[in-house]
Amino acid sequence: MTSRELLAVVAIALPAFAALLVLLVPSRLVARVAIGAAIPAGAVGLAVAVACLAGDPTLDHGLALDAGGGMLLAVIATIGLASVLMSPAYLGTLHDSFVAERRRQASFFALLFLFWAVLVAIAVAGNLGLAWLLVEASTAPSALLVGFTGKARALEAGWKYLVLTSLGLGIALLGILILAGGVDAGLTQLSWHAVSTYSGGHETALVAYLLLLAGLAAKVGWAPVHNWLPDAHSEAPAPVSALLSAALLPTVLLVAWRVEQSLGPVIGVQTARSVLIGFGLVSLAVAVPFLWRSLAWKRLLAYSSLEHMGVIALGIGFATPLALAGVVVHVAGHALAKALGFYAATPLVAHEPRAARHGVTGLARTERTVGTAVGLSLATLAGLPPTPLFFSEVLIVAGGFEAGRTWAAAATAVVLGLGFVGLVHALIETTAGKAHRRSVTRPPGLRGVATATAVAGALLAGLAAAALWLPGTHLVEALAKGIS
């Protein structure tokens, strides 16, 4: 095992060990121990990400270390660490849960770290069967976290998430079983390289591919199997919503991307990419009407996730250097903007309790820190120039035209424009609209949100600059190559 592979194992083990550790320490020390454990876990995750992005792709010992995995490992490490840091402020506002008060903090952090560890494992899984098993395993801790408050709405959202995503993954399992019958290595050795050797026939491979992507779509949150997404994001604790949207969805999408890269030569590259483009366009079209409505803050962010997972699918489907450069910027920019938006939800709801169920207006007039965070998040998610998502969407649309997908690229541009109008309207109303009477007490978590806003703003500015440099770089070439 190479040093890079060993480091990847450590990146999985550290958050898993932290999950056990927070259950063993005295309750008064849980938050400090969690933060202390999250820092090295995040640092090692980022080190593995850098090693994957800088080195040649490898597939050995059940680990896939490539540029795509490195990109997601960086996101998981960053958002995982930030979510742990933001959790004490959220837990300070939590008055009830399905867990007894004396074990509440320990249970929350244990589930959060376990979720983090599984996400890292998914990103480096070198076997399709193992990747499926890990995606399924991520459902248990994340569903418990969605329903952590114990309220009826939260339990219903957690149950819906559990049932719908498990049903989807059951469909994906059928595709895996079909592939296992036509691969010499069999089910237990269904590596990404082995998948590309499928010899059961073009039509059967296509059926397996469609089953896999349709099943994974339920976990990614692509339309029309996205029904759990708005409820889960609305009811989950804010740090959990950040990890769900910014890390889980694109990490499962990475698995779908690897399936496309492995099966593309068997069923036809253009056919495989067309399926991704189809999911992307449908997701964009379904999201737009909701982005035009006045929604509760976290629900608006959830429908934005539907839109942006569609954009990433389109970039992967177009697969030109311009489009893949856009994917890199979009994954990172979406993660930062979405996490910031969810972190701001804790002080936002404390400042204006009705924000949990209704749209809010005039935040910049009454609470500037929250208003700034919300404004930066929404402006970025809308793709307002010169935010990085503006450049990434331009690159992806241009990549569609470059790939010869004229109608798909034109449709993408039109639907993105409609989504832009809806989100810009939400930005104006939320920050500069009519102000309502709010709580005069200082909401919790403002210091953390202010720090997150400053860090996210700097990183987003750097991404916007990087978008002009990325096309044609080694990173884009490595993404196109994958783990083949």
Q: φ and ψ at 363, to 5 degrees?
A: -65, -35
Contacts with 116 (C-beta within 8 Å, 6 or more apart), sequence order: 15, 41, 76, 80, 243
**What are the residue ranges of helices labelled H in 25-137?**
30-54, 67-93, 101-124, 128-137
Distance, CA of 9 to CA of 75 (rounded, Å)? 17
Question: Exposure of 10 by Cβ count < 10 A (0-12 exposed, 13-18 middle, 19+ buried)?
Answer: middle
Q: In this structure, what token pair is assigned to residue 33?
A: 């121990």
pLDDT of residue 402: 94
Is residue 182 pLDDT above 70, yes or no? no
226 by DSSP, 3-state: which? Answer: coil
**Averaged confidence pLDDT in the chain:** 91
| Digit-coded pLDDT (tens) for 314-343 | 999 999 999 999 999 999 999 999 999 999
2 by DSSP, 3-state: which? Answer: coil
Q: φ and ψ at 125, to 5 degrees?
A: -65, 125
3-state secondary structure 110-144: HHHHHHHHHHHHHHHECEHHHHHHHHHHCHHHHHH
97 by DSSP, 3-state: which? Answer: coil
Question: Count of alpha carbons within 13 Å of 142, Cβ hemisphere only?
Answer: 31
pLDDT of residue 359: 82
pLDDT of residue 201: 81
Nearest-Å Rg of the Cα atoms of the chain is: 21
Query: CA nearest 460: which of 392, 363, 366, 396?
Result: 392
Q: In this structure, what token pair is assigned to residue 90?
A: 């959220």
What sign results for the dihedral spanned by CA atoms 340, 429, 220, 70? negative
pLDDT of residue 3: 85
**What are the residue ranges of helices labelled H in 198-248?**
202-220, 228-235, 238-243
pLDDT of residue 412: 96
pLDDT of residue 325: 94
Contact 377, 344 (CB under 8 A): yes
Portion of the chain with pLDDT greater than 90, in percent: 70
Portion of the chain with pLDDT greater than 70, in percent: 97
Question: DSSP state, 433?
Answer: S
Question: Exposure of 207 by Cβ count < 10 A (0-12 exposed, 13-18 middle, 19+ buried)?
Answer: middle
* 483 band by pLDDT with thresholds 50, 70 and 90: confident
| Digit-coded pLDDT (tens) for 366-395 | 888 889 999 999 999 999 999 999 999 999
Q: In this structure, what token pair is assigned to residue 343?
A: 């972190």
pLDDT of residue 445: 80
**What are the residue ranges of helices labelled H in 433-473?**
446-467
Question: Exposure of 151 by Cβ count < 10 A (0-12 exposed, 13-18 middle, 19+ buried)?
Answer: middle
| Digit-coded pLDDT (tens) for 393-431 | 999 999 999 999 999 999 999 999 999 999 999 999 988
* 47 band by pLDDT with thresholds 50, 70 and 90: very high
Question: DSSP state, 28?
Answer: G
Is residue 206 pLDDT above 90, yes or no? yes
List Cβ<8 Å contacts ≥24 apart for 288-291. Answer: 288/415, 288/418, 288/419, 288/422, 290/230, 291/419, 291/422, 291/423, 291/426
| Digit-coded pLDDT (tens) for 437-474 | 555 567 778 888 999 999 999 999 999 988 888 887 88
Is residue 114 pLDDT above 60, yes or no? yes
